[in-house]
Amino acid sequence: MAAEATSGGQYSFGCELLDPITNTLRPYNIAMWPFDASVEVYDPTSRRTILKRCRPRESISVDDFFLGNTITVMSRPYVVRKYLSPETEARFATKRATSLCVIKPCSTGHAGTLVDELLTSGFDIGAVRMVRLSKAEAEEFYRERRHRPSFVQEVEFLAADAVIAVVVSAEDAVSKLQGWAGPANPADAAEALPGSIRARFGTDAVRNAVHVSATPAAAASEEAFMFARERSIPAVFRHCSALVIRPHAVKAKAAGQIIQAVLDSGMEISGLRSVALEGRDIEDYLEPYKGVLPEHSRWMTELSSGTSIIAEVRGEDVVPRLRELCGPYCPEIAGHLRPDSLRARFGINRVQNAVLCTDLPSDGPLECKYLFCVVDA
């Protein structure tokens, strides 16, 4: 970074933004100057600059600009898709690559632990999505494995229940993720890499905890497959409560621990995805708090500052149980009254208080349907 700081050079990225009116992806070019963390946004369609060079209110680092990641600039979420200059590609292509990890049905109960271990192993998480594949979709996903004797069993198991797709980035991400997962057969993993995920969580070559991409090309193809709009989400919108992991907690790499705390409490996560919430979506979602909580406007700003992770949580008496797990709005009060609560553990203040959850039992299905069906990813 020393050369960048002294030269004042810029990097250029091709990005996409979902147009809420036409429901189509529009291209935008973003230039970023690492020296002062300033950005400029250009619309190649209209051939005009829509944001002159400035430091946006969101905290943006040059390390956030890796392929597949969502960059929020002035409350608008742009997905980084390509590099626009040789200098940019030279700086990022070899140092920040992406790969895909799919948490299989046998390991979704450990999903939070696996996400946390990805984060503590040096990976950044670009996107998360829980999906439910049909048998035909599972066959398509595993099409390169048709020659394997275990192909039918692998397909049936992948389609047996929901899976969680996680896009990760790191230097040499594909091989690093393979080392993190370990050999496909847990017995081989236990011998060669006893600390690997498959050695610790896998039971056999089919129920081996996770799928990870084999090559960079496979990673790109599999990511596109898992995050395609037509993939079915498993959320059911009944007897449920909504949970939003706030952007500051996601940036602090607390998402895995929060997810696992929900699972360890005996509740089920039946829907999960990352999303960059925008102005109108946030305004509608926080409408019940307007005029009630003095932090309402600052909550809106915080929720628009980056990626959130949303979940549909289910279980008996789920709304009061999840509310109790989250704790009082103020982390300081939560620390005194419920020191094991999520806000006591991961909250900073009344605005950056780690999580939002449904307050009234009757609102659970409505909030979950809004977050998963109305708010676009």
What residues are annotated to the active site?
211
Question: Distance between CA atoms of 226 and 304, rounded to whole angstroms?
Answer: 25
Q: How far is CA 45 from CA 7, 23, 42, 68, in A?
A: 30, 16, 9, 21
